[in-house]
Chains A and B, each alone.
Chain A
Protein backbone atom coordinates (compact mmCIF):
# COMPACT_ATOMS: atom_id res chain seq x y z
CA UNK A 1 0.00 0.00 0.00
CA UNK A 2 1.39 3.34 -0.99
CA UNK A 3 1.26 6.04 1.68
CA UNK A 4 1.55 9.76 1.13
CA UNK A 5 1.47 13.04 2.95
CA UNK A 6 -1.39 15.12 1.64
CA UNK A 7 -0.65 18.81 2.12
CA UNK A 8 -3.13 21.59 1.54
CA UNK A 9 -4.02 24.97 2.91
CA UNK A 10 -6.62 27.69 2.80
CA UNK A 11 -6.04 31.40 3.21
CA UNK A 12 -7.88 34.71 3.22
CA UNK A 13 -6.26 38.12 3.46
CA UNK A 14 -7.32 40.71 6.00
CA UNK A 15 -10.44 42.64 5.05
CA UNK A 16 -9.81 45.12 2.20
CA UNK A 17 -6.36 43.71 1.45
CA UNK A 18 -5.83 42.13 -1.93
CA UNK A 19 -2.85 40.10 -0.92
CA UNK A 20 -2.19 38.04 2.18
CA UNK A 21 0.60 38.62 4.66
CA UNK A 22 0.50 34.89 5.47
CA UNK A 23 2.42 32.72 3.06
CA UNK A 24 2.34 28.96 2.79
CA UNK A 25 4.87 27.03 0.72
CA UNK A 26 5.35 23.35 0.12
CA UNK A 27 8.07 21.45 -1.70
CA UNK A 28 9.34 17.97 -2.18
CA UNK A 29 13.07 17.67 -1.52
CA UNK A 30 14.96 17.31 -4.76
CA UNK A 31 17.16 14.53 -3.41
CA UNK A 32 14.43 12.60 -1.63
CA UNK A 33 10.97 12.32 -3.09
CA UNK A 34 9.62 11.00 0.21
CA UNK A 35 10.48 14.19 2.02
CA UNK A 36 7.81 16.86 2.10
CA UNK A 37 8.74 20.25 3.49
CA UNK A 38 6.31 23.06 4.15
CA UNK A 39 6.36 26.41 5.85
CA UNK A 40 3.68 28.75 7.07
CA UNK A 41 5.02 32.23 7.57
CA UNK A 42 3.15 35.24 8.88
CA UNK A 43 4.61 38.63 8.02
CA UNK A 44 4.11 41.43 10.50
CA UNK A 45 1.27 43.74 9.51
CA UNK A 46 -0.67 43.10 6.35
CA UNK A 47 -0.71 43.78 2.64
CA UNK A 48 2.15 43.74 0.19
CA UNK A 49 4.92 44.45 2.71
CA UNK A 50 3.85 41.62 4.98
CA UNK A 51 3.55 39.34 1.97
CA UNK A 52 7.06 40.12 0.77
CA UNK A 53 8.53 39.47 4.22
CA UNK A 54 6.60 36.27 4.70
CA UNK A 55 7.57 35.05 1.25
CA UNK A 56 11.20 35.81 1.98
CA UNK A 57 11.01 33.92 5.27
CA UNK A 58 9.15 30.93 3.87
CA UNK A 59 11.45 30.65 0.86
CA UNK A 60 14.57 30.71 3.02
CA UNK A 61 13.17 28.25 5.53
CA UNK A 62 12.12 25.88 2.76
CA UNK A 63 15.51 25.95 1.08
CA UNK A 64 17.50 25.56 4.29
CA UNK A 65 15.44 22.68 5.63
CA UNK A 66 15.32 20.89 2.29
CA UNK A 67 19.09 21.04 2.24
CA UNK A 68 19.29 19.65 5.78
CA UNK A 69 20.79 22.75 7.35
CA UNK A 70 21.01 22.81 11.14
CA UNK A 71 17.90 24.54 12.50
CA UNK A 72 19.87 26.94 14.64
CA UNK A 73 21.93 28.17 11.73
CA UNK A 74 18.88 28.37 9.50
CA UNK A 75 16.92 30.39 12.05
CA UNK A 76 19.83 32.72 12.64
CA UNK A 77 20.24 33.48 8.97
CA UNK A 78 16.53 34.13 8.60
CA UNK A 79 16.49 36.39 11.64
CA UNK A 80 19.43 38.43 10.56
CA UNK A 81 18.10 38.82 7.03
CA UNK A 82 14.73 40.13 8.09
CA UNK A 83 14.39 43.72 9.15
CA UNK A 84 13.42 44.36 12.77
CA UNK A 85 10.44 46.40 13.80
CA UNK A 86 12.00 49.46 15.40
CA UNK A 87 9.16 49.97 17.87
CA UNK A 88 8.27 46.46 18.92
CA UNK A 89 11.80 45.10 18.59
CA UNK A 90 10.54 41.89 17.09
CA UNK A 91 11.46 40.46 13.76
CA UNK A 92 9.11 41.01 10.92
CA UNK A 93 7.76 37.54 10.50
CA UNK A 94 7.03 34.36 12.35
CA UNK A 95 7.08 30.88 10.87
CA UNK A 96 6.49 27.16 11.35
CA UNK A 97 8.31 24.63 9.20
CA UNK A 98 7.35 20.98 9.09
CA UNK A 99 9.21 18.29 7.26
CA UNK A 100 8.11 14.72 7.02
CA UNK A 101 10.13 11.92 5.57
CA UNK A 102 7.53 9.27 4.88
CA UNK A 103 10.14 6.59 4.11
CA UNK A 104 11.32 6.63 7.74
CA UNK A 105 8.05 8.06 9.08
CA UNK A 106 9.75 10.90 10.89
CA UNK A 107 8.46 14.44 11.31
CA UNK A 108 10.49 17.46 12.42
CA UNK A 109 8.90 20.77 13.30
CA UNK A 110 10.46 24.16 13.88
CA UNK A 111 8.30 26.85 15.39
CA UNK A 112 9.20 30.48 15.57
CA UNK A 113 6.47 32.45 17.29
CA UNK A 114 3.45 31.12 15.37
CA UNK A 115 0.58 29.55 17.34
CA UNK A 116 1.63 25.98 18.24
CA UNK A 117 0.76 23.26 15.74
CA UNK A 118 -1.72 20.49 16.50
CA UNK A 119 -1.01 16.82 16.09
CA UNK A 120 -4.14 14.71 15.89
CA UNK A 121 -3.92 10.93 16.11
CA UNK A 122 -6.92 8.59 16.33
CA UNK A 123 -9.24 11.49 17.02
CA UNK A 124 -7.17 12.82 19.92
CA UNK A 125 -4.87 15.76 20.29
CA UNK A 126 -1.36 14.66 21.20
CA UNK A 127 1.07 16.61 23.29
CA UNK A 128 4.51 16.42 21.80
CA UNK A 129 7.54 17.31 23.86
CA UNK A 130 9.20 20.36 22.43
CA UNK A 131 12.74 21.48 22.89
CA UNK A 132 13.52 25.12 23.47
CA UNK A 133 16.41 26.05 21.22
CA UNK A 134 18.30 29.17 22.28
CA UNK A 135 19.50 31.30 19.43
CA UNK A 136 22.47 33.58 19.34
CA UNK A 137 21.65 36.94 20.89
CA UNK A 138 21.24 39.58 18.25
CA UNK A 139 21.21 43.26 18.74
CA UNK A 140 17.74 44.74 19.12
CA UNK A 141 15.91 41.43 18.91
CA UNK A 142 13.94 40.30 21.89
CA UNK A 143 12.95 36.88 20.64
CA UNK A 144 15.92 34.60 21.01
CA UNK A 145 14.54 31.12 20.89
CA UNK A 146 12.56 28.70 18.84
CA UNK A 147 10.78 25.44 19.54
CA UNK A 148 11.92 22.21 17.97
CA UNK A 149 10.08 18.92 18.03
CA UNK A 150 10.55 15.57 16.41
CA UNK A 151 8.27 12.54 16.39
CA UNK A 152 7.41 9.33 14.57
CA UNK A 153 4.42 9.84 12.36
CA UNK A 154 1.77 7.19 12.30
CA UNK A 155 -0.65 6.28 9.58
CA UNK A 156 -3.67 8.61 9.79
CA UNK A 157 -1.83 11.43 11.62
CA UNK A 158 -2.78 15.00 10.89
CA UNK A 159 -0.56 17.99 11.59
CA UNK A 160 -2.47 21.24 11.57
CA UNK A 161 -0.88 24.68 11.34
CA UNK A 162 -2.54 28.04 11.52
CA UNK A 163 -1.67 31.69 11.74
CA UNK A 164 -2.81 33.85 14.64
CA UNK A 165 -5.58 35.15 12.39
CA UNK A 166 -7.34 31.87 13.21
CA UNK A 167 -6.84 31.83 16.99
CA UNK A 168 -7.67 35.52 17.29
CA UNK A 169 -10.69 35.43 15.01
CA UNK A 170 -13.82 36.80 16.61
CA UNK A 171 -11.88 38.86 19.10
CA UNK A 172 -13.96 41.73 20.40
CA UNK A 173 -17.26 40.23 19.30
CA UNK A 174 -19.99 39.53 21.81
CA UNK A 175 -19.76 35.80 21.29
CA UNK A 176 -15.98 35.52 21.52
CA UNK A 177 -14.63 38.59 23.30
CA UNK A 178 -11.18 37.02 23.64
CA UNK A 179 -11.20 35.43 20.24
CA UNK A 180 -11.52 31.79 19.17
CA UNK A 181 -8.28 30.86 20.99
CA UNK A 182 -6.39 27.58 20.82
CA UNK A 183 -9.04 25.84 22.91
CA UNK A 184 -11.82 26.83 20.54
CA UNK A 185 -9.89 25.77 17.45
CA UNK A 186 -9.01 22.46 19.08
CA UNK A 187 -12.61 21.73 20.03
CA UNK A 188 -13.83 22.58 16.53
CA UNK A 189 -11.28 20.32 14.84
CA UNK A 190 -11.88 17.34 17.13
CA UNK A 191 -15.63 17.59 16.72
CA UNK A 192 -15.26 17.82 12.97
CA UNK A 193 -12.96 14.79 12.86
CA UNK A 194 -15.45 12.87 14.92
CA UNK A 195 -18.02 13.45 12.19
CA UNK A 196 -15.74 13.10 9.18
CA UNK A 197 -12.96 10.68 9.97
CA UNK A 198 -11.51 10.61 6.45
CA UNK A 199 -11.75 14.32 5.78
CA UNK A 200 -9.11 15.45 3.30
CA UNK A 201 -6.44 18.01 4.17
CA UNK A 202 -8.03 20.37 1.70
CA UNK A 203 -11.51 20.19 3.21
CA UNK A 204 -10.31 20.34 6.81
CA UNK A 205 -8.24 23.46 6.13
CA UNK A 206 -11.11 25.14 4.32
CA UNK A 207 -13.63 24.36 7.06
CA UNK A 208 -11.36 25.74 9.79
CA UNK A 209 -10.98 28.86 7.73
CA UNK A 210 -14.70 29.18 7.11
CA UNK A 211 -15.35 28.98 10.84
CA UNK A 212 -12.69 31.61 11.55
CA UNK A 213 -14.31 33.86 8.95
CA UNK A 214 -17.68 33.30 10.60
CA UNK A 215 -16.20 34.29 13.97
CA UNK A 216 -15.09 37.54 12.39
CA UNK A 217 -18.55 38.01 10.85
CA UNK A 218 -16.93 37.60 7.43
CA UNK A 219 -14.79 40.69 7.86
CA UNK A 220 -11.41 39.12 8.71
CA UNK A 221 -9.39 41.37 11.00
CA UNK A 222 -6.12 39.72 10.09
CA UNK A 223 -4.63 37.51 7.39
CA UNK A 224 -5.99 34.08 8.20
CA UNK A 225 -4.50 30.73 7.17
CA UNK A 226 -4.88 27.09 8.03
CA UNK A 227 -2.69 24.33 6.59
CA UNK A 228 -3.04 20.60 7.07
CA UNK A 229 -0.65 17.69 6.52
CA UNK A 230 -2.42 14.35 6.45
CA UNK A 231 -0.48 11.08 6.34
CA UNK A 232 -2.69 8.54 4.66
CA UNK A 233 -3.11 5.90 2.02
CA UNK A 234 -2.47 7.27 -1.45
CA UNK A 235 -5.52 7.61 -3.70
CA UNK A 236 -4.87 6.42 -7.21
CA UNK A 237 -6.46 7.69 -10.37
CA UNK A 238 -6.18 6.45 -13.94
CA UNK A 239 -6.86 8.87 -16.78
CA UNK A 240 -7.12 7.25 -20.19
CA UNK A 241 -7.13 9.66 -23.06
CA UNK A 242 -6.90 9.18 -26.80
CA UNK A 243 -6.92 6.10 -28.98
CA UNK A 244 -3.58 4.29 -29.33
CA UNK A 245 -1.40 5.07 -32.32
CA UNK A 246 -1.54 1.44 -33.31
CA UNK A 247 -5.03 -0.14 -33.28
CA UNK A 248 -3.61 -3.44 -32.09
CA UNK A 249 -2.94 -1.75 -28.74
CA UNK A 250 -6.67 -1.19 -28.13
CA UNK A 251 -6.88 -4.41 -26.14
CA UNK A 252 -4.02 -3.31 -23.93
CA UNK A 253 -5.81 -0.05 -23.10
CA UNK A 254 -9.00 -1.93 -22.28
CA UNK A 255 -7.05 -4.34 -20.11
CA UNK A 256 -5.46 -1.49 -18.18
CA UNK A 257 -8.87 0.01 -17.63
CA UNK A 258 -10.28 -3.29 -16.38
CA UNK A 259 -7.40 -4.12 -14.07
CA UNK A 260 -6.80 -0.74 -12.45
CA UNK A 261 -7.76 -0.71 -8.77
CA UNK A 262 -8.34 3.01 -8.12
CA UNK A 263 -10.73 5.45 -9.74
CA UNK A 264 -10.88 5.69 -13.52
CA UNK A 265 -11.57 8.49 -15.95
CA UNK A 266 -11.91 8.29 -19.71
CA UNK A 267 -11.22 11.46 -21.55
CA UNK A 268 -12.27 11.37 -25.17
CA UNK A 269 -15.24 10.11 -27.19
CA UNK A 270 -13.36 7.68 -29.37
CA UNK A 271 -11.42 6.27 -26.44
CA UNK A 272 -14.65 5.77 -24.50
CA UNK A 273 -16.16 4.13 -27.55
CA UNK A 274 -13.31 1.62 -27.81
CA UNK A 275 -13.60 0.64 -24.15
CA UNK A 276 -17.38 0.57 -24.18
CA UNK A 277 -17.44 -1.68 -27.25
CA UNK A 278 -14.90 -4.15 -25.95
CA UNK A 279 -16.44 -4.39 -22.49
CA UNK A 280 -20.01 -4.25 -23.80
CA UNK A 281 -20.87 -1.41 -21.46
CA UNK A 282 -23.13 1.24 -22.92
CA UNK A 283 -22.31 4.94 -22.69
CA UNK A 284 -25.00 7.44 -21.76
CA UNK A 285 -24.52 11.13 -22.38
CA UNK A 286 -25.63 13.47 -19.60
CA UNK A 287 -27.44 16.02 -21.73
CA UNK A 288 -28.76 17.97 -18.79
CA UNK A 289 -25.25 19.29 -18.26
CA UNK A 290 -24.87 22.65 -19.95
CA UNK A 291 -21.55 24.35 -20.27
CA UNK A 292 -20.51 27.05 -22.66
CA UNK A 293 -17.15 25.64 -23.58
CA UNK A 294 -17.08 21.92 -22.91
CA UNK A 295 -19.36 19.14 -24.25
CA UNK A 296 -21.37 17.20 -21.67
CA UNK A 297 -19.94 14.22 -19.81
CA UNK A 298 -21.20 10.67 -20.13
CA UNK A 299 -21.76 7.79 -17.79
CA UNK A 300 -20.36 4.30 -18.21
CA UNK A 301 -20.27 1.50 -15.67
CA UNK A 302 -16.78 1.07 -14.25
CA UNK A 303 -15.67 4.63 -14.94
CA UNK A 304 -15.99 7.42 -12.42
CA UNK A 305 -16.16 9.98 -15.19
CA UNK A 306 -16.28 10.00 -18.98
CA UNK A 307 -15.59 13.29 -20.70
CA UNK A 308 -14.93 14.67 -24.14
CA UNK A 309 -11.22 14.85 -25.00
CA UNK A 310 -9.21 17.84 -26.08
CA UNK A 311 -11.58 20.73 -25.23
CA UNK A 312 -11.97 19.34 -21.73
CA UNK A 313 -8.24 18.79 -21.29
CA UNK A 314 -7.46 22.30 -22.50
CA UNK A 315 -9.87 23.74 -19.95
CA UNK A 316 -8.42 21.56 -17.18
CA UNK A 317 -4.95 22.77 -18.06
CA UNK A 318 -6.16 26.39 -17.76
CA UNK A 319 -7.88 25.71 -14.45
CA UNK A 320 -4.74 24.13 -13.06
CA UNK A 321 -2.67 27.04 -14.24
CA UNK A 322 -4.92 29.74 -12.81
CA UNK A 323 -5.18 27.85 -9.49
CA UNK A 324 -8.77 28.97 -9.15
CA UNK A 325 -10.81 26.83 -6.85
CA UNK A 326 -14.25 28.06 -7.75
CA UNK A 327 -15.16 24.67 -9.08
CA UNK A 328 -18.17 23.94 -6.92
CA UNK A 329 -20.43 26.36 -8.76
CA UNK A 330 -20.80 25.24 -12.37
CA UNK A 331 -19.88 21.63 -12.84
CA UNK A 332 -18.86 20.47 -16.27
CA UNK A 333 -16.52 17.77 -17.49
CA UNK A 334 -13.47 19.95 -16.98
CA UNK A 335 -14.25 21.11 -13.44
CA UNK A 336 -15.16 17.54 -12.49
CA UNK A 337 -11.88 16.23 -13.85
CA UNK A 338 -10.01 19.10 -12.20
CA UNK A 339 -11.54 18.14 -8.83
CA UNK A 340 -10.65 14.50 -9.32
CA UNK A 341 -7.05 15.32 -10.16
CA UNK A 342 -6.72 17.39 -7.01
CA UNK A 343 -8.45 14.84 -4.81
CA UNK A 344 -6.10 12.03 -5.82
CA UNK A 345 -2.41 11.59 -5.18
CA UNK A 346 -0.96 9.16 -7.70
CA UNK A 347 -2.20 9.88 -11.15
CA UNK A 348 -1.55 7.52 -14.03
CA UNK A 349 -2.03 8.89 -17.50
CA UNK A 350 -2.43 6.46 -20.35
CA UNK A 351 -2.15 8.60 -23.44
CA UNK A 352 -3.04 7.40 -26.91
CA UNK A 353 -0.98 9.14 -29.55
CA UNK A 354 -3.17 8.67 -32.60
CA UNK A 355 -3.68 12.13 -34.11
CA UNK A 356 -7.21 13.11 -35.00
CA UNK A 357 -6.78 14.87 -38.31
CA UNK A 358 -10.22 16.40 -38.17
CA UNK A 359 -8.97 18.48 -35.26
CA UNK A 360 -6.16 19.96 -37.27
CA UNK A 361 -8.48 21.57 -39.80
CA UNK A 362 -7.51 25.25 -40.04
CA UNK A 363 -11.19 26.16 -40.34
CA UNK A 364 -11.84 25.20 -36.73
CA UNK A 365 -12.95 28.26 -34.78
CA UNK A 366 -10.78 27.31 -31.82
CA UNK A 367 -7.24 26.07 -31.65
CA UNK A 368 -7.53 22.48 -30.51
CA UNK A 369 -3.85 21.64 -30.45
CA UNK A 370 -2.40 18.21 -29.88
CA UNK A 371 -3.53 16.00 -27.05
CA UNK A 372 -0.01 15.04 -26.18
CA UNK A 373 1.10 18.63 -25.70
CA UNK A 374 -1.90 19.47 -23.50
CA UNK A 375 -1.37 16.36 -21.38
CA UNK A 376 2.27 17.28 -20.96
CA UNK A 377 1.25 20.72 -19.70
CA UNK A 378 -1.19 19.17 -17.23
CA UNK A 379 1.41 16.68 -16.01
CA UNK A 380 3.95 19.42 -15.43
CA UNK A 381 1.51 21.52 -13.43
CA UNK A 382 0.36 18.55 -11.37
CA UNK A 383 3.93 17.67 -10.52
CA UNK A 384 5.35 21.11 -9.91
CA UNK A 385 2.48 23.09 -8.47
CA UNK A 386 0.29 20.42 -6.91
CA UNK A 387 3.07 17.98 -5.91
CA UNK A 388 1.27 14.97 -7.31
CA UNK A 389 2.95 11.73 -8.22
CA UNK A 390 2.31 11.40 -11.92
CA UNK A 391 3.11 8.51 -14.22
CA UNK A 392 2.66 8.86 -17.94
CA UNK A 393 2.55 6.11 -20.49
CA UNK A 394 2.14 6.67 -24.20
CA UNK A 395 0.54 4.10 -26.47
Chain B
Protein backbone atom coordinates (compact mmCIF):
# COMPACT_ATOMS: atom_id res chain seq x y z
CA UNK B 1 0.00 0.00 0.00
CA UNK B 2 1.33 3.41 -0.92
CA UNK B 3 0.43 6.11 1.55
CA UNK B 4 0.09 9.52 -0.08
CA UNK B 5 -0.44 12.68 1.94
CA UNK B 6 -1.06 15.67 -0.26
CA UNK B 7 -0.59 19.06 1.33
CA UNK B 8 -3.29 21.58 0.56
CA UNK B 9 -1.98 24.24 2.93
CA UNK B 10 -1.87 27.77 1.54
CA UNK B 11 1.67 27.75 0.14
CA UNK B 12 1.33 24.35 -1.51
CA UNK B 13 -2.14 25.16 -2.79
CA UNK B 14 -1.13 28.32 -4.62
CA UNK B 15 2.05 26.77 -5.97
CA UNK B 16 0.09 24.10 -7.84
CA UNK B 17 -1.31 21.84 -5.13
CA UNK B 18 -4.82 22.94 -6.09
CA UNK B 19 -4.63 20.69 -9.14
CA UNK B 20 -3.90 17.64 -7.02
CA UNK B 21 -7.51 17.61 -5.85
CA UNK B 22 -8.29 15.93 -9.17
CA UNK B 23 -5.86 13.10 -8.71
CA UNK B 24 -8.36 10.39 -7.82
CA UNK B 25 -9.99 10.62 -11.22
CA UNK B 26 -6.65 10.27 -12.93
CA UNK B 27 -5.63 6.99 -11.30
CA UNK B 28 -6.79 3.67 -12.75
CA UNK B 29 -9.05 1.42 -10.67
CA UNK B 30 -6.19 -0.95 -10.09
CA UNK B 31 -3.90 1.81 -8.91
CA UNK B 32 -6.57 3.31 -6.70
CA UNK B 33 -6.72 0.07 -4.75
CA UNK B 34 -3.04 0.25 -4.03
CA UNK B 35 -2.98 3.84 -2.89
CA UNK B 36 -4.20 5.40 0.33
CA UNK B 37 -4.84 9.02 -0.56
CA UNK B 38 -5.15 11.73 2.04
CA UNK B 39 -5.31 15.49 1.82
CA UNK B 40 -3.74 17.28 4.74
CA UNK B 41 -3.28 20.85 5.96
CA UNK B 42 0.19 22.47 5.95
CA UNK B 43 2.81 19.82 6.64
CA UNK B 44 5.17 22.47 7.93
CA UNK B 45 7.82 22.00 5.24
CA UNK B 46 7.09 25.32 3.57
CA UNK B 47 8.29 27.13 6.67
CA UNK B 48 11.39 25.03 7.17
CA UNK B 49 13.10 26.44 4.09
CA UNK B 50 13.94 22.91 2.94
CA UNK B 51 12.59 22.69 -0.55
CA UNK B 52 9.83 24.45 -2.36
CA UNK B 53 6.06 23.84 -2.35
CA UNK B 54 3.96 21.99 -3.35
CA UNK B 55 4.91 19.16 -1.05
CA UNK B 56 3.60 15.59 -0.99
CA UNK B 57 4.49 12.96 1.58
CA UNK B 58 4.68 9.47 0.10
CA UNK B 59 5.35 6.54 2.40
CA UNK B 60 6.96 8.88 4.85
CA UNK B 61 9.28 10.47 2.26
CA UNK B 62 8.80 14.10 1.34
CA UNK B 63 8.70 15.17 -2.30
CA UNK B 64 8.95 18.85 -3.19
CA UNK B 65 8.18 21.13 -6.13
CA UNK B 66 5.90 18.70 -7.92
CA UNK B 67 5.02 20.53 -11.09
CA UNK B 68 1.62 19.02 -11.92
CA UNK B 69 -0.75 16.08 -11.42
CA UNK B 70 1.02 14.00 -14.03
CA UNK B 71 4.33 14.40 -12.25
CA UNK B 72 2.67 13.36 -9.00
CA UNK B 73 1.10 10.30 -10.64
CA UNK B 74 4.51 9.39 -12.00
CA UNK B 75 6.00 9.41 -8.50
CA UNK B 76 3.10 7.41 -7.12
CA UNK B 77 3.49 4.80 -9.85
CA UNK B 78 7.18 4.47 -9.09
CA UNK B 79 6.29 3.82 -5.49
CA UNK B 80 3.67 1.22 -6.41
CA UNK B 81 6.23 -0.67 -8.41
CA UNK B 82 8.78 -0.64 -5.62
Chain B associates with chain A: yes
Residues of chain A at the chain B interface (Cβ within 8 Å): 269-270, 272-273, 283, 285, 287, 290, 295-296, 298, 308-311, 356-359, 361, 363-366, 368
Complex partner residue of B41 from A269, A361, A365, CB under 8 angstroms: A269
On whether the beta carbons of A269 and B42 are closer than 8 Å, the reply is yes
On whether the beta carbons of B47 and A295 are closer than 8 Å, the reply is no
- A296-B8, A358-B47 known; A273 vs B14 contact (CB < 8 Å): no
Question: Does any Cβ of A come within 8 Å of B18's Cβ?
Answer: yes
Question: Does any Cβ of A come within 8 Å of B15's Cβ?
Answer: yes
26 A–B contacts, CB within 8 A, in A order: A269-B41, A273-B42, A285-B39, A290-B21, A295-B8, A295-B9, A295-B10, A295-B13, A296-B21, A308-B8, A308-B9, A310-B10, A311-B14, A356-B11, A356-B46, A356-B47, A357-B47, A358-B46, A358-B53, A361-B11, A363-B52, A364-B14, A365-B14, A365-B15, A366-B14, A368-B10
On whether the beta carbons of B10 and A359 are closer than 8 Å, the reply is yes
A-B CB proximity, top 3 nearest: A269-B41, A358-B46, A269-B42
Main secondary structure of the interface of A (DSSP, over half): loop
Inter-chain contacts of B13 with A (CB < 8 A): 295, 308, 311
On whether the beta carbons of A295 and B46 are closer than 8 Å, the reply is no
Inter-chain contacts of A356 with B (CB < 8 A): 10-11, 46-47
Complexed CA–CA distance, A273 and B43 (Å): 10
On whether the beta carbons of A270 and B42 are closer than 8 Å, the reply is yes
Complexed CA–CA distance, A364 and B46 (Å): 12
The total of interchain contacts (Cβ-Cβ below 8 angstroms) comes to 58
Complexed CA–CA distance, A365 and B15 (Å): 7
Inter-chain contacts of A283 with B (CB < 8 A): 41
Question: Does any Cβ of A come within 8 Å of B40's Cβ?
Answer: yes
Complexed CA–CA distance, A50 and B54 (Å): 54
Complexed CA–CA distance, A357 and B48 (Å): 9
0 or 1 for each of B22-47: is its CB under 8 Å from A? (1 = yes): 00000000000000000111100011
Inter-chain contacts of B39 with A (CB < 8 A): 285, 287, 296
On whether the beta carbons of B10 and A285 are closer than 8 Å, the reply is no
Complexed CA–CA distance, A358 and B8 (Å): 14
Inter-chain contacts of B8 with A (CB < 8 A): 285, 295-296, 308
Inter-chain contacts of A273 with B (CB < 8 A): 41-42
On whether the beta carbons of A285 and B14 are closer than 8 Å, the reply is no
Distance in angstroms from A140 CB to nearest chain B CB is: 64
State which size class the interface on B falls in: 10 to 19
Distance in angstroms from A54 CB to nearest chain B CB is: 44
On whether the beta carbons of B40 and A359 are closer than 8 Å, the reply is no
Complexed CA–CA distance, A227 and B45 (Å): 51
- A270-B42, A287-B39 known; A364 vs B15 contact (CB < 8 Å): yes
Distance in angstroms from A269 CB to nearest chain B CB is: 3
Complexed CA–CA distance, A93 and B71 (Å): 65
Inter-chain contacts of B52 with A (CB < 8 A): 363
Complexed CA–CA distance, A356 and B10 (Å): 10
Inter-chain contacts of A311 with B (CB < 8 A): 10, 13-14
Complexed CA–CA distance, A310 and B47 (Å): 15
On whether the beta carbons of A295 and B18 are closer than 8 Å, the reply is yes
Complexed CA–CA distance, A287 and B20 (Å): 11
On whether the beta carbons of A272 and B41 are closer than 8 Å, the reply is yes
Inter-chain contacts of A270 with B (CB < 8 A): 9, 41-42
Considering only CB atoms, which chain A residue lies closest to B46 in the complex?
A358
The winner among B10, B15, B39 for most chain A CB atoms within 10 A is B10
Distance in angstroms from A250 CB to nearest chain B CB is: 15
Complexed CA–CA distance, A339 and B41 (Å): 23
- A290-B21, A357-B47 known; A308 vs B15 contact (CB < 8 Å): no
The winner among A269, A285, A290 for most chain B CB atoms within 10 A is A269
- A290-B21, A295-B18, A296-B21 known; A359 vs B41 contact (CB < 8 Å): no
Complexed CA–CA distance, A357 and B39 (Å): 23
Complexed CA–CA distance, A185 and B63 (Å): 63
On whether the beta carbons of B14 and A368 are closer than 8 Å, the reply is yes
Complexed CA–CA distance, A298 and B18 (Å): 15
0 or 1 for each of B1-17: is its CB under 8 Å from A? (1 = yes): 00000001111011100
